[in-house]
Structure 1
Amino acid sequence: MSAVTLAFLGLGGLSLLLLLLSLRFRHVGHFHLRFGHRIRLPKRGQSPSYTLPATSGFLGGFGFGGAIAIEAAHRTGPSAVLAGCVAGVVVGVPLAWAAARLVAAVAGMRTDATPESAGLVGTTGVVISEIPAGGLGQVRLSYAGQPMKFNARADGPLALGVEVLVIGVPTPSSVLVTPLKAVLNLEEGS
């Protein structure tokens, strides 16, 4: 194995190190780089023009692609360097483009809306701590797919285990409830 091949393999190895750094320190690898300007982070939703994953993709393609081309062509000296550079660019540019597109796609991925407590109105739950007349008790509701406890008030006393319907949310940690059975009976009688 020639020194030129080892140099190209070293570049490929450096690309793996950059990739590991970009995975470990996510925010380090995403910034804009423009000559004559300061380095700045992209705004939310804006895809970065320079990323460590894209650089890593280019260096990996350049290094490993160049080393493979040199060894496959059995070249030495300046012709080995030229063959490695040409093959490295041919392999590295598409890898850098693909890495940049992948990072931009992941960075711009939409997520579900943040749940708000006002969305609890209309949900059902169960009393887990008796609700006295005019006082506070506790209910268990399913909130964002997770069972959670909320302080609860009701018009009248509610015993342990009564199924309830949320009719109001005065604070993020408390709800107004009514017995579900009473609501269902009203609907049947209508």
Structure 2
Amino acid sequence: MATATVVFLVIGGVGLAILAFALLGGEIAHIGGLGGDGLVSLEAIAGFLGALGFAGAITAELLDARTPALVSIAAAVALVAAFATAWLALRFSRAARDMPTDATPTRQHLVGTLGVVVTRVPAGGGFGEVRVRLGGQPVKLYARADQALPAGTPIFVVEAPTDTSVVVEATPPTGKA
């Protein structure tokens, strides 16, 4: 194995180590202002170094680069691969970071939802349990009601005093056959 190949492999290994750091804890460091808000992301730097090292090592081995001219050709090929990979990494990391997501549901989103009583709700001050759908997901909550509600009763949420409890009223059955 040529010395150039070993040097390129070390550079590629450093790129992989930076990528692992960026993916597992890069937000902690904010190294030198690099990152999501900077000109270049840590992922792009890792992609650049990884592609530079591994493309250079592959090319150096294929050319059996033992002369300065062949090492220069391997480095040129490696630079082309490195810039292309860094550009892709930058685009993908920005796309993932800037991806729009739905708002996090809050207890205000519970008011007005329909559900069903899971555990009997006693009249007055006691708590039972109901299941409602919030953001397409079933959510089980503690429930109070003015009148006793047996399990299986369809309900309507009228108030959400806390994140885990609601005040409900019975609704008429839907009449599904």
C-alpha distance in structure 1 between counterparts of 2:83 and 2:34, whole Å = 23
Q: Is the counterpart of residue 167 in structure 1 residue 161 in structure 2?
A: no
Alignment check: 8 A CA contact 2:114 2:133 kept: no
**Judging changes above 3 Å, is the alpha-carbon distance between structure 1 residues 28 and 178 closer, same or farther for their aligned structure 2 residues?**
closer
Do the aligned partners of 1:4 and 1:80 also contact (CA within 8 Å) in 2? no
Equivalent residue, structure 2, for 1:16: 16
CA displacement at 1:99 relative to structure 2 = 0.7
* More moved, 85-94 vs 158-167: 158-167
Find the residue that maps to 1:50 and give its secondary structure: coil
User: How many angstroms does 1:151 deviate by?
Assistant: 2.8
Distance 2:139 2:169 in 1: 19
The equivalent residue for 1:152 is 144
* Deviation string, structure 1 residues 97-153 (Cα, Å, up to 9, x no partner): 111111111111112211121222232233313321x32332312243133122312
Cα distance in 1, alignment partners of residues 8 and 150 from structure 2? 75
Aligned position for 1:6 = 6
Alignment check: 8 A CA contact 2:142 2:164 kept: yes
What is the letter of the counterpart of residue 59 of structure 2? A
Q: Which residue of 2 aligns with 1:101?
A: 91
Match of 1:74? 64
Q: Secondary structure at the match of 1:56?
A: helix
| Aligned-pair Cα RMSD in Å | 2.6
Which stretch shifts more, 58-67 or 101-110?
A: 58-67
* TM, length-normalised to structure 2: 0.80
Aligned twin of 1:35:
none
Cα distance change, pair 159–146 in 1 and its aligned pair in 2 (3 A): closer
SS of the aligned residue for 1:115 comes to coil
* Counterpart for residue 39 of structure 2: 49
Question: Could you say what secondary structure the match of 1:110 adopts?
Answer: coil
Structure 1: where are the runs of 5+ without partners?
33-38, 186-190
Give the paired residue count. 172
Q: Give the 3-state SS of the residue equivalent to 1:131 in structure 2.
A: coil
- Mapped to 2, the partners of 1:94 and 1:135 lie a distance apart of 65
Distance 1:93 1:181, change over 3 A: same
Secondary structure class of the residue paired with 2:169: strand
Q: Is the 8 A contact 1:126 1:140 kept in 2?
A: yes
Which residue pairs with 1:40 in the alignment?
A: 33
State the AA in 1 paired with 2:33.
R
Q: Counterpart of 2:111? A: 121
Query: Aligned partner of 1:63: which letter?
Result: G
Shift of 1:11: 1.1
Instruction: Give TM-score scaled by structure 1 length.
Output: 0.76
Q: Aligned partners of 1:58, 1:4: CA distance in 2, in Å? A: 18
Contact 2:120 2:148 in 1 (8 A): no
TM superposition outliers: structure 1 runs of 4+ over 6 Å = none
Gaps of 5+ in 2: none
